[in-house]
């Protein structure tokens, strides 16, 4: 009940807006074990705000073209109010993940000057030949995305399979890595921070797996750090068609893969990219409302989560937990990462027509493409404009969250690429 008092005090103007973390943590200069313990007041506040949610009046459309239907919002509210048990979720997170905190710098290849406190998952294999693997989550996910990979990668059932030490950091502003204190923290700076994290963990050579924002960050990391990053597996290798491609498309000279990609790309840009434009232009404008409304934010991310899976059914519990990975510290920092991606020249404030803005990756790259995701069927020669793509796997099941929807497929791709020493340059790892 204490949060009622805090709200009353704030209304009376007697409470200062003290910015403090809503969870217990210290971020020292070396890795230290971390157990999640979120301030019960913020959990109670979310619950109370969910209870008080005001809903829009639906216009009864057969599809999701305006966004998630209101009946989904009310059913998630009902679950949140009547059944959702954060203390159980917190116990599950603490038993499933070995978590740590530390602090690193975003140097040398970024202009972000502040120290970067990090939360990360780290599961070591007991195999002496294990390959260090950095897993980078995306939007609107979090470190939770790595869950299904941990046991099969660190402790494979068959000794003939490759083993991995898995490191999965929270991007600052997501999960339990505190939001950057100042601007200029985008994918480039995140890559610097994560490279320093791997060095701090004594992994001088490692491989990276990532999609979505992780698929942005890994390209900066590989390009800036040929001395540490051996190879990259991306399930989100963004290659925008350029103006010549569009000319060929309108002239009817493009291949079926190129047609598919361009149609899907337009479809997404025309119908589903509103969130991205808002986040990359005025993140604080939606930041105010989203920081206040847990159901509003849950519906905001549910749209993307729902549209980019093939068959997976997100439970209300899962949706609420994913939302809380942003809402506990406030989702504004997560939004802003898109604005910083524009500053880092990889997103544009307009339609995506420029394919030359990502740094080129010289290390071997493997692509895993999934049908419900945006860059499905990216032609190999387009993909190779962005890097040394040596493997392209076009799967027939799954979507934007392969570690959730089709973990076995992703695990097979990770094993077959990084386990091939000559292909992925993993024979030189320590
Ligand atoms: C590695 O640990 C697992 C249990 O976590 C155990 O079953 C296995 O025997 C261990 N392997 C080695 C090589 O120590
Ligand atoms: C393999 O990695 C090492 C160490 O980073 C690097 O020196 C070498 O150039 C890489 N080889 C290829 C083919 O990328
Ligand atoms: C588009 O990419 C293709 C292949 O790399 C290249 O030949 C063409 O010149 C590019 N067009 C523009 C306008 O950059
Ligand atoms: C998307 O918008 C573009 C530009 O307005 C238009 O040319 C294209 O036909 C649209 N495509 C789809 C699939 O909506
Ligand atoms: C939202 O509603 C659809 C049916 O329209 C249902 O399939 C889905 O499971 C619902 N999601 C949640 C989180 O309640
Ligand atoms: C595309 O990016 C390149 C490199 O950053 C830049 O020189 C060019 O002006 C951009 N073109 C457009 C149309 O934005
Ligand atoms: C490793 O990759 C190379 C190049 O694709 C291939 O020729 C070789 O058969 C692969 N090795 C294994 C063990 O799969």
Query: Over its length of 430 residues, how does the chain's per-residue pLDDT go in tens digits?
Result: 334 333 333 333 333 333 589 999 999 999 999 999 999 999 999 999 999 999 999 887 878 889 999 999 999 999 999 999 999 999 999 999 999 999 999 999 999 999 999 999 999 999 999 999 999 999 999 999 999 999 999 999 999 999 999 999 999 999 999 999 999 999 999 999 999 999 999 999 999 999 999 999 999 999 999 999 999 999 999 988 888 999 999 999 999 999 999 999 889 988 999 999 999 999 999 999 999 999 999 999 999 999 999 999 999 999 999 999 999 999 999 999 999 999 998 988 766 655 558 999 999 999 999 999 999 999 999 999 999 999 999 999 999 999 999 999 999 999 999 999 999 999 965 5
**Is there a domain that residue 159 lies in?**
yes
Which residues, including other chains, have CB under 8 Å from residue 424's CB and lie 6 or more apart?
Answer: 207, 230, 231, 364, 366, 417, 418
- Give, using CA atoms, the residue closest to atom 5 of ligand 2: 227
Overall number of domains in the chain: 1
Residue in 275, 338, 344, 413 annotated catalytic: 338
Query: Which pLDDT score is estimated for 86?
Result: 98
- Give, using CA atoms, the residue closest to atom 9 of ligand 4: 266
Q: How far is the CA of 72 from the centre of ligand 5 (A)?
A: 6
Check if 84 is active-site.
no
Which ligand is closest in space to the CA of residue 385?
3
**Is there a domain that residue 225 lies in?**
yes
Q: How far is the CA of 301 from the centre of ligand 2 (A)?
A: 39
Q: Which domain holds residue 105?
A: 94-243+363-428
Q: Ligand 7: residues within 6 Å at CB?
A: 420, 422-423
- Give, using CA atoms, the residue closest to atom 13 of ligand 7: 420
**Is there a domain that residue 146 lies in?**
yes
Residue in 112, 212, 245, 373 annotated catalytic: 212
- Give, using CA atoms, the residue closest to atom 8 of ligand 4: 266
Q: Is the CB of 273 under 6 A from ligand 6?
A: no
**Is there a domain that residue 162 lies in?**
yes
**pTM as predicted:** 0.93
**Is there a domain that residue 287 lies in?**
no
Q: How far is the CA of 230 from the centre of ligand 2 (A)?
A: 6
Q: Is the CB of 356 under 6 A from ligand 6?
A: yes
**Is there a domain that residue 125 lies in?**
yes
**Is there a domain that residue 369 lies in?**
yes
- The CATH code of the domain that includes 163 is 3.40.50.1820
**Is there a domain that residue 279 lies in?**
no
């Amino acid at each position: 009940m204490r949060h009622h008092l805090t709200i009353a005090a704030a209304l009376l103007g007697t409470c200062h807006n003290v910015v403090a973390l809503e969870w217990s943590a210290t971020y020292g200069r070396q890795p230290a074990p971390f157990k999640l313990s979120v301030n019960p007041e913020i959990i109670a506040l979310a619950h109370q705000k969910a209870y008080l949610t005001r809903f829009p009046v639906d216009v009864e459309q057969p599809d999701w073209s305006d966004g998630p239907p209101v009946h989904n919002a009310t059913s998630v509210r009902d679950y949140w109010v009547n059944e959702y048990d954060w203390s159980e979720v917190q116990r599950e997170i603490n038993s499933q993940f070995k978590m740590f905190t530390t602090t690193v710098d975003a140097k040398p290849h970024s202009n972000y000057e502040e120290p970067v406190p990090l939360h990360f998952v780290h599961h070591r294999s007991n195999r002496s030949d294990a390959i260090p693997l950095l897993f980078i989550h995306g939007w609107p996910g979090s470190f939770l995305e790595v869950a299904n990979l941990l046991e099969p990668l660190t402790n494979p059932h068959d000794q003939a399979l490759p083993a991995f030490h898995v490191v999965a950091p929270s991007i600052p502003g997501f999960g339990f890595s505190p939001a950057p204190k100042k601007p200029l923290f985008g994918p480039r700076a995140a890559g610097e921070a994560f490279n320093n994290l791997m060095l701090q963990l004594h992994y001088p050579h490692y491989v990276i797996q990532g999609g979505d924002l992780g698929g942005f960050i890994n390209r900066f990391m590989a390009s800036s750090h040929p001395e540490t990053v051996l190879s990259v597996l991306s399930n989100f290798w963004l290659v925008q068609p350029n103006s010549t491609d569009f000319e060929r498309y309108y002239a009817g000279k493009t291949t079926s893969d190129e047609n598919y990609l361009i149609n899907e790309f337009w479809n997404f840009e025309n119908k589903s990219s509103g969130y991205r434009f808002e986040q990359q232009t005025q993140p604080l404008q939606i930041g105010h409302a989203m920081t206040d409304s847990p159901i509003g934010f849950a519906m905001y991310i549910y749209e993307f989560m729902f549209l980019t899976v093939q068959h997976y059914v997100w439970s209300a519990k899962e949706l609420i937990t994913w939302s809380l990975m942003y809402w506990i510290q406030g989702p504004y920092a997560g939004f802003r990462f898109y604005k910083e991606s524009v500053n880092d020249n990889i997103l544009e404030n307009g339609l995506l027509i420029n394919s030359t803005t990502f740094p080129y990756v010289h290390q071997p790259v493997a692509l895993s493409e999934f049908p419900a995701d945006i860059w499905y069927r990216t032609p190999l020669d387009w993909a190779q404009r962005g890097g040394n793509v040596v493997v392209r796997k076009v799967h027939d099941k799954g979507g934007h969250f392969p570690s959730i929807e089709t973990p076995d497929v992703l695990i097979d791709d990770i094993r077959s690429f990084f386990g091939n020493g000559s292909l992925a340059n993993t024979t030189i790892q320590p």
